[in-house]
Structure 1
């Protein structure tokens, strides 16, 4: 995809494209409406500004589109439409030992039970041990703090996906 093609797409197709970078429907709709864009940085800057206007339900909708960190079955099956853009985002878990993967699974389940949504981290380039450490550090935060933390991580992920999708 290039910028000119994105700008020229019919609304529904552009909406689908933006939804692959972030699953919050309101965000994707607003990003589609803000076209045309001049470059990747312009899309990312608008994306960040629009993301700041999202409400809790929008955040949760975006978070729900992610597989749990380290959940291999979920990585393979959940939201196949984002598979191409999400490829490699959790590659740090590929070489993790069984103990680390088990700890990620256990801590993720505890995080979900505590906060009501999965742990979100921009995992690109991070080893599994770093993801686990971040999960352990954030597990006992308040849910309000974690909504903010997860939202900050989500927009990092979204910006990476935009860059990857435009430059591919």
Structure 2
């Protein structure tokens, strides 16, 4: 009887405690497939990911949605990961007018020109090496820490980096899922 349980309190990577929002969860569980997919691709731009998360319904609580994210991320093939990465701006260049991109990359605000210039150069080197944008869960990170991570990861093999990206996408999706589940 999950409906009679109190909301689950847990902590996300940022350390903040969150509670499941049963009203939002019930609304999402009741949505038609197309309507839910439209909301899910706002979290992750891979249509395959959206379908896999959707087919895990009904979700009993927010932990179930996060478990669906983890399971879906584990199943994505290379083309699906490319679709997921296509929805993300370059680090240091949040998309203008995109509140999610601006919020997630808030750590670059106020960074000096030298750091931003180096991010731009390092992004170009990374993209030339791997063929896609450098992806990192930027929430709570400064421009300097993202630059350090970019420099460290450019030495990865393509396979290692693809799995690192998969993990970073999962973290980003979890944060975005929390935002969706806790909207008023």
Give the structure-2-normalised TM-score: 0.84
Cα displacement (A) at 1:165 = 1.1
Per the alignment, residue 133 of structure 2 pairs with 118
Cα displacement (A) at 1:84 = 4.4
Aligned match for 2:112, one of 66, 86, 97: 97
Q: Structure 1 residue 33 and structure 2 residue 55: aligned?
A: yes
Structure 1 moving runs of 4+ over 2 Å: 83-87
Give the structure-1-normalised TM-score: 0.91
Going by fraction, where is helix more abundant, 1 or 2? 1
Unmatched 5+ stretches in structure 2: 1-22
Aligned match for 1:141, one of 144, 153, 156: 156
Per the alignment, residue 9 of structure 1 pairs with 31
In the alignment, the residues of structure 1 paired with residue 166 and residue 78 of structure 2 have an alpha-carbon distance, to the nearest angstrom, of 10
SS of equivalent to 2:103: coil
In the alignment, the residues of structure 2 paired with residue 36 and residue 87 of structure 1 have an alpha-carbon distance, to the nearest angstrom, of 32
Per the alignment, residue 45 of structure 1 pairs with 67
Number of positions where the alignment pairs a residue of Structure 1 with one of Structure 2 = 161
Aligned match for 1:22, one of 33, 44, 59: 44
Contact residue 7 and residue 35 of structure 1 kept, 8 A: yes
Unmatched 5+ stretches in structure 1: 78-82
Cα displacement (A) at 1:85 = 4.1
Cα displacement (A) at 1:116 = 0.4
Per the alignment, residue 66 of structure 1 pairs with 88
Per the alignment, residue 76 of structure 1 pairs with 96
1:31-90 CA distance string (max 9 Å, x none)? 112211122111001110121011111111101110000014xx116xxxxx34444110
Contact residue 120 and residue 153 of structure 1 kept, 8 A: yes
Q: Structure 1 residue 163 and structure 2 residue 178: aligned?
A: yes
Higher Cα radius of gyration: 2
Aligned-residue Cα RMSD (Å) equals 1.3
1:125-161 CA distance string (max 9 Å, x none)? 1010000000000112111111011111000000100
Per the alignment, residue 80 of structure 1 pairs with none
